Structure 1
Amino acid sequence: MDQPAVINKELALGKFTDKMLDDMRALIGTDLRTESCLNNEYATRLAIMRFCEGIGDDNPLWTSADYAKDGPFGTLVAPPSFIFACLGSVQVGWPGLGGFHAETKMSFGEPIRVGEKITAKVTFDGFDGPIADSNFGGRRIKDYLRQEYRNDEGDLKATFICSRMRFERGEMQKRRESRAIEVPHPWTDEEISEIEARVLAEKPRGAEPRYWDDVQVGDEIDVITKGPLGLTDFIAFIAAGAAPIPRIAAHAVSLKRYHRHPKWAFRDPRTHALEPVYSVHYNDYAAQLQGAQIAYDVGIQRTCWQIHSLTNWMGDAGRLLELTGQYRSHVYLGDVVTLGGRVDAKEVDEQGRHIVRLTTWATNQRGQQAMPGTAVIALPTRSAV
């Protein structure tokens, strides 16, 4: 009988080497296997509902069949972020290194309609670096995965360029104390009441069109608030079918995986259980091994919030065409994130669509910009009424 793999109480502490970099260059252009990261092949009513619950978006265009049948699509559609529930983010190479999602670029086609089957193709587009040194975590590189989502007719529903920062965990751990902050944040009862009142007051624009004609450069979009973020908020995102790499499993299923791939897991010294590397998003010990203070959010989780704020503002007749987002600073358990944006330009594009270009932001209670970004939205016009 084979001896079981030895799994340490630490996350893997890999190093950049010339061989690693050469091996990764040889993989550029490779289409990656996705089977272990598939979550929802079909945009069923329940899959869409569970995803919306996991990101805190109760827009009836996604969640109420009675409402949606009278909407612009005549049926339920999924929010643009639903692609994250079709396929958990895929990893490539970099054995033993740590990783943070650094940036997202997305473009969108027609909305995903209830019942459609969605298939993803993932290609490794290469990497930049390594940068010799950075104050954040020593040597690092930035890699790029291109994910294309299509229905059975071959219609392109979305393109997602996912870039991650790769680093040596040992170097990141050395710098952890220099980034120390008070976490979780010490909210007062009065502050909590005010935050929750803001959240409860939020609502999507809905069936009332937001006309391009009425929007002015400099207008700010409606603000939405997420938090104070609790463990259930993070777990709900996983339960929604988003994010785990590969899918989270339990007992014999996970144990067999970890023994085949020991660097996928570590042994928690408090519970003695094996935990996946992904548990940095709900396990404080794992997050600290990654160089963070405590458990922190998922990059694409933040993008889901960004999309929530944009679709709330644009109304049922608007179309989200493009967005970008850079993930800066961790969003920790207990944090509050406020998302907003500003209209920077109005124009008619080459396809004759009336579009607005926006700068977007996500700030935490410390005044940090956690996700600067941009968006392009097509809006209806009064002349077309």
Structure 2
Amino acid sequence: MNGAITDHALARLRARIGVTQPHPQPPWYRDPGTDAFRHVAEACGDDNSLWCDPTYGPTTRWGGPIAPPHLNGGDTMIGENEVTHLDSDTKALLKGDPLKGAHAYYAGSFREWWAPLRPHTSVTRRNALVGVHDKRSDFADRTVHEWTAEVFGAPDHMLSAQFRLMIRTDRKTVEDKGDRGKNFGVEIEPYTEEQIADIADAVAEAAMRRRGPTPRYWEDVEEGDELPPLVKGPLRITDIVVWHTGVGMGLYGVKSLNLAHQQRARIPGFFRRDDLNIPDVHQRVHWDPEWARRAGSPATYDYGRMRESWLIHLCTDWMGDDAWLWKLDCEFRRFNYVGDTHWVRGRVARRYLADGDRPAVDLEIWGENQRSETTCPGHATVLLPSKEHGPVRLPEPPGGATTCAATLDALVQRFAQMEAAP
């Protein structure tokens, strides 16, 4: 039955685990240098000198400029495909969607960073399905958690990984059934002059609180500490435009003019007609209010990745330039509409020694809008310098892997263990 999640369909999907397939677009930055570092950071509203001033990096423990975490492992931003051609058997294995017709939604992201990205590093990547987790609720609804990994490596070491969680379900969830109606009940109220002034003051205060070159020592942190909040917004279509200038045009690589005609010939399903009968990309829902309304949204809205970058910004401002952001995950639970303002917050949940006696803290992080709705809850793990244990020691990739292929193999094993866990 089309759209049904069956044992046979799951077996077909699981047969793809660990099978590398090329990314459909070249990276936005083939040779990322300090300009790319700055463009990406500023697209996220982050002007930390560690990413934006190439003369500052040499004064830090890193000895030179490094990329912001959002760029280091950004899914469409860096990395040339290690695997560029597939044999006929692999093409047949990867053809079509075994769960075609089942509902799918982008539920969350998980990131890991193992080493800094330095200017003009030759980056390669591999992409593969790494986990298929069969879930059943008390009401016998069957859902599948479909995990895809993208790993990024330098010539002699691994840099980072990014995981995307897609939730597939036979039966539309309660949110799915009701979201369209609920969305149209959302009203974005105009701001008063006083509200705009208050937001501007909060933004200025946050910039003053950035830790920067002052180390935040592990011993000085206590569980329950609150992170100084960041304010992001009110979100404008202009912010979405600037976002694209830094991070690129996404998975399909939106093209212009004659290149757009060529793209439409390749992927006609990515296009629909506008009011002038001109074919345009579905992605237009992010900057055209009428297209957003036709899609069931009361207004244009951001990408989940934007708020992920805001959570990264929260962590790096708090931890200081001597620390290392090791892991970060977040869920995308609600839309962030043009006109919304987000307060990005966090607290220290745990302080401990991680693998190899590395001083670490776990953070609870989230973004909430002016309607007091939490739209993007998440977690992060930060390695901090220590008065007793010394400077941060970078974490190791899974299994100590040094190649993209070995890292993907280790991640497949990790996700298999996750599924087997009670």
2:277 aligned to 262, 272, 276, which one? 272
Per-residue deviation, residues 52-79 of structure 1 (Å, max 9, x unmatched): 1211110001111122110111111011
Alignment of 1:239-318 (within 5 A): 239-242=245-248, 244-268=250-274, 270-318=275-323
Cα distance in 1 for partners of 2:273, 2:229 equals: 41
Deviations, residues 145-176 of structure 1 (Å, cap 9, x unaligned): 111111122x21111111124579x9958851
- The question of 1:160 aligning with 2:165 is answered no
TM-score by length of structure 2 reads 0.78
- Greater shift, 343-352 or 33-42, is seen at 33-42
Relative distance call for 1:127 and 1:234 in structure 2 (3 A) is farther
Report the equivalent of 1:66: 55
Larger CA deviation: 177-186 vs 106-115? 177-186
* Aligned residue in 1 for 2:335: 330
Code of the aligned partner of 1:161: F
2:111 is the alignment partner of 1:106: yes
Provide the aligned length of Structure 1 versus Structure 2. 366
- Structure-1-length-normalised TM-score: 0.85
What is the CA–CA distance in structure 1 between the aligned matches of 2:236 and 2:177, rounded to whole Å? 24
Is residue 86–residue 242 contact of structure 1 (8 Å, CA) maintained in 2?
no
CA distance, structure 1, for counterparts of residue 72 and residue 242 of structure 2: 16
Quote the offset at 1:364 in angstroms. 0.7
Residue 214 of structure 1 pairs with residue 203 of structure 2: no
Gaps of 5+ in 2: 82-93, 392-422
Q: Contact 2:75/2:150 (CA < 8 Å) preserved in 1?
A: no
What percent of counterpart residues are identical?
Answer: 25
Q: Which amino acid aligns with 1:186?
A: P
Amino acid at match of 1:82: L
Change over 3 Å in CA distance of 1:277–1:63 after alignment to 2: same
Matches within 5 A, 1:178-217: 178-203=182-207, 204-217=210-223
From the superposition, tell whether residues 183 and 250 of structure 1 become closer, same or farther in structure 2 (CA, over 3 Å). farther
Change (3 A) 1:108 1:84: closer
Gap regions ≥5 residues in structure 1: 1-14
Assess, with a 3 A threshold, how the Cα gap between structure 1 residues 231 and 140 changes in structure 2: closer, same or farther.
farther
Contact 1:222–1:340 under 8 Å retained in 2: yes
State the structure with bigger RCO (CA 8 A, min sep 6), 1 or 2.
1
1:49 to 38, 62, 65: 38
8 Å Cα contact 2:151/2:161 also seen in 1? yes
Q: Is the 8 A contact 2:132 2:145 kept in 1?
A: yes
Q: Distance in 1 between matches of 2:345 and 2:109?
A: 17
> Retained in 2: the 8 A contact 1:364–1:370?
yes
Alpha-carbon offset, residue 181 of structure 1: 3.1
1:150 and 2:174 are equivalent in the alignment = no
1: CA distance, partners of 2:152 / 2:286: 26
CA root-mean-square deviation: 3.2
How far apart are the structure 2 equivalents of 1:202 and 1:271? Answer: 45
SS in 1 for 2:128: strand
Change (3 A) 1:82 1:141: same
Q: CA deviation at 1:99?
A: 5.2
Cα distance between partner residues in 2 of 1:210 and 1:18? 49
Amino acid at match of 1:54: A
Provide the rounded CA distance (Å) in 2 between the counterparts of 1:368 and 1:181: 14
How far has the Cα of 1:286 moved from its partner? Answer: 3.8
